[in-house]
Amino acid sequence: MREVILAKSAGFCFGVRRAVELAQKVAQSGQPYVMLGPVIHNDNVIADLEAQGVTCVHSVEEVPPGCGVIIRSHGEGKAIYDKLAEKGCPIADATCVNVSRIHEIVRDASQRGRQVVIIGDPDHPEVRAVAGWCEDAKIFRNQEELSVFLVQNEENQQKPLTMVSQTTSTDRIWTPCREKVKKECTNAEIFDTICNATCKRQSEAQSLAERCGAMIVIGDRKSSNTTRLAELCRAHCPLVYHISRAEELDRRMVSGVASVGITAGASTPGWIIKEVKNKMSDELNNAMEIEESFADMLEKSIKTLNTGDKVTGIVTGITATEVNVDLGTKHAGYIPISELSDDPTVKAEDVVKVGDEIETYVMRVNDVEGVATLSKKRLDTVKNWDTIEAAVEDKTVLEGVVTEDNKGGIVVNVKGIRVFVPASQTGMPRGADLSEMIKQHVKLRITEVNRSRRRVVGSIRAVAAEERAAKAAEVWENIEVGKKYEGTVKSLTSYGAFVDIGGVDGMVHVSELSWSRIKNPAEVVSVGDAVTVYVISYDPEKKKISLGMKDRSQDPWEKFTSTYEVGSVANVRVVKLMTFGAFAEIVPGVDGLIHISQIADHRIEKPGDVLEEGQNVDVKITDIDFDRKKVSLSIRALLNDNAAGEGEAEDAE
C-alpha cells in the first residue's frame, strides 16, 4: 500500500503566522497600509493581501506620507524606523520575536564597542535588517569566509567580538563558525540565534527523507528556509522536488515510489499544504491502479536500461539541482546539474528547455527505486573526443579558454578536454610569464592526440602564424606609397622603431618619428603604443617597408618664416654642440646655428664652456637664407642690444 506522510512541523512557524495574521487584521481595518517588502516569502499570501488592498512597496520613498506601514517578519534596520517616523507613518510591526531578540543583542554589543559578526546570507533581508541595528557589522556566509577575516589581521582576534546567526541557518554552517571563534578569539560572546522551530523542521524533514522514496518540499522558491529544507532532504533521498503549488505536481515524479514524504517551509500556508497532500494521495492511488492494470503489458513492452547506454528522452522539468527526463521506460531519468555541462557557471535553462529532446549517457540504474541517473556532459565528452581527433586530420582551428599554466606551457579547455600547449607554441616570448594568459580565449590547432592516455597537444603559435601570414599577404597586395595604417610599436632600436601594420613590420627611421631633433626613438614612442604611420617606400622582394610618423602636411619652414624674421628674438633649445658652434631648435623641424663667436660677449675656447645640450636660451635671429633654409642665431647680439638699452636708460636718467 502506498502512503503519503506529512511532516509534523510543516508550514507556518509562530513568527510567520503572527505576521500574516497581523497583516490580515490591518487589511480588514479599512485604514490605508502598505507592506515594506513582502511580509513573508510566499507569493500566494502576498497576492491575497494585495487583493485586500494592502500593496507591496520596496523602499521608504515609495510610502505615501502618513500611510501605515507593515514591517515584514524579517524585520528592518533602525534607519527605516527613523525615516517612517519622520514621514508620520503608523507602523504595524510584524518582525519575528526571534529576529527582534537578535536586534537587541547586536544593538547592545555595538553600544559597548564590540565588533558584531553575523553568520548568514548578506543579501537576505533578515541579515540586512540585523546589520542595521549596529555599527560596521561583518557578515560571513560560512566558516571559510570567517577564517579569512580572523587571520588577515591578528588584531581581529583580539577585538571584543559578538557573534549571532541568521535564524534560518543550519548547524552545518553555524557549528564550525562557533568553534572557530572559540579557538581563535580571546574576547568573544557567542549567541546561537538559530530558531528552534527551524531546527525542529529541518530535523523532521531529514528523518522523513531517509524513510521515503521521494520528498515533496513546498514553499516559495525565494524562501531561503524552504531552499535549505530541499538541500537537506537531497542528502538523504534520491528524489526531492521543490514546488510552490499543487499544480506543479506530476505523476511521473513519484512513479514506482512506495512512499512520499511532504514538508513545507515556514512561509507556506496550511491550505497549500493540504492541497498538495490531497493531490499527491490521488496521484499515488491512480498510479498504483494503472501499474496494477497494465503490469503484464509493461513488463513485456518497456525496454530495460543498462549503465553505459546512449538514450534519448524528453525534458519534463528543470529544478535548481537536476533536469528530469522522460525516457519512455519504467525508470525516471534525471540529470544532475553537475552532469549537464562542462561549464560550472552555465544555467540549466541555457542548455535545455522543457519539451526538448535530449540525448544522454546512462551513468547508473537503480531498478529497486526505478531511477536512472543520466549525464549529458559525458556523452558530449565522447563526441568532443571525436571532434578533437578529426581536427588533427582536417587541420581544423578550434577555440578554448586557458585554464592554467605550468613549467612546460599552458592548459587550454577545448570542449571540456584538456589540451596542453608547450611554451614554445603559445606565441609568447621566451621567458614570458605564461600566467598572464589564464582566462584568455585562444585559437589553436591540434597537433597530437592519444585518446587512450587522454593526452592532447596543441599549438596557438601555428594559428597565429597563419593569421599573420594572411594579413601580411593582404598588406602586400594593397600597399602603396602614402597609404596610412594604424599600427603597434613592436620594438625599438637606436636608429628607429619597428611598427606592426597588420602582419607586416615596417621601420620608422628616427628622423621620421618627429620634426624635432631626437637622439633616441624612446623619446617619442614606447613598445606597445598604437600609432598612425604612412608608407614612404617599400620593397616587395626584400620585404622591407619604410614608414613615417611626422605630419607631412605641416611644413616647419613655413611655420618658422610666418612667425619669425631677421631681428626677432626667440627662445631656442640647444640640440647639438660642435667645435665651431651650437645648433639650436627654433621650432620643431627648423634648427639655427649659433656660431662660437656669437655664443658670448667674450672669447671662449669651445661652445661647451657656456652651453649644454637640452638648455633653453634666448637668441636673436641675425640672418635667414631662404634658398638654403638656413638660419643664423646670436646670443652675443642680444646681449649687446640689452647692454645698449641699459646705457640709454642711464643716459636718460
Q: What distance in Å separates the CA atoms of residue 69 and residue 91, rounded to the nearest whole number?
A: 5
Q: How confident is the model at residue 294 (pLDDT cuts 50, 70, 90)?
A: very low
Q: What distance in Å separates the CA atoms of residue 229 and residue 236, rounded to the nearest whole number?
A: 11
Q: What distance in Å separates the CA atoms of residue 510 and residue 526, rounded to the nearest whole number?
A: 13
pLDDT tens track for 148-185 = 888 877 788 888 999 999 988 888 899 999 999 999 89
pLDDT tens track for 592-617 = 999 999 999 888 999 999 999 889 99
Cell numbers found for residue 593: 646655428
Q: Is the pLDDT assigned to residue 510 strictly greater than 70?
A: yes
Mean pLDDT of the residues in the chain: 86
Phi, psi of 207, rounded to the nearest 5 degrees: -65, -40
Q: Is the pLDDT assigned to residue 277 strictly greater than 60?
A: yes
Between 343 and 181, the higher pLDDT residue? 181
Q: What distance in Å separates the CA atoms of residue 206 and residue 189, rounded to the nearest whole number?
A: 31
Average pLDDT over residues 412-430: 89
For the chain, give the percent of residues with pLDDT over 70. Answer: 94
Q: Which residues contact 518 (CB under 8 A, 6 or more apart)?
A: 510, 524
Q: What is the pLDDT of residue 571?
A: 94
Average pLDDT over residues 300-308: 64
8 A C-beta contact, residue 175 and residue 169? no
509: left (phi over 0), alpha (psi -120 to 50) or beta: beta
Q: Is the pLDDT assigned to residue 651 strictly greater than 60?
A: no
Q: How confident is the model at residue 286 (pLDDT cuts 50, 70, 90)?
A: low
Q: How confident is the model at residue 338 (pLDDT cuts 50, 70, 90)?
A: confident
Average pLDDT over residues 47-69: 89
Q: What is the pLDDT of residue 650?
A: 56
Q: What distance in Å separates the CA atoms of residue 494 and residue 497, rounded to the nearest whole number?
A: 8
Phi, psi of 450, rounded to the nearest 5 degrees: -130, 95
DSSP-based helix, strand, coil % in the chain, nearest 5: 35, 30, 35
DSSP string, 189-202: EE-----HHHHHHH
8 A C-beta contact, residue 246 and residue 253? no
Q: Which residue has the cell 503489458?
A: 297
Q: In what order do the strands lie in the sheet with 214-218?
A: 3-6, 259-264, 214-218, 240-243
Q: Is the pLDDT assigned to residue 206 strictly greater than 70?
A: yes
Bridge partners, 332 (sequence order): 326, 371
Q: Is the pLDDT assigned to residue 127 strictly greater than 60?
A: yes
The three-class DSSP label of residue 64 is coil
Q: What is the pLDDT of residue 550?
A: 82
The three-class DSSP label of residue 310 is strand
Give catalytic residues, as residue numbers. 126
Q: Is the pLDDT assigned to residue 297 strictly greater than 60?
A: no
Average pLDDT over residues 240-254: 83
Average pLDDT over residues 27-42: 87
Q: How confident is the model at residue 290 (pLDDT cuts 50, 70, 90)?
A: very low
Q: How confident is the model at residue 303 (pLDDT cuts 50, 70, 90)?
A: low
Q: What distance in Å separates the CA atoms of residue 296 and residue 418, rounded to the nearest whole number?
A: 49
Measure Cα distances from 321 to 245, 350, 626 in Å: 19, 14, 85
pTM tops 0.75, yes or no: no
Average pLDDT over residues 269-276: 85
Q: What is the pLDDT of residue 138?
A: 94
Estimate the crossing angle of helix 14-29 against helix 43-51, to 10 degrees.
20
Q: Is the pLDDT assigned to residue 652 strictly greater than 70?
A: no
The three-class DSSP label of residue 348 is helix
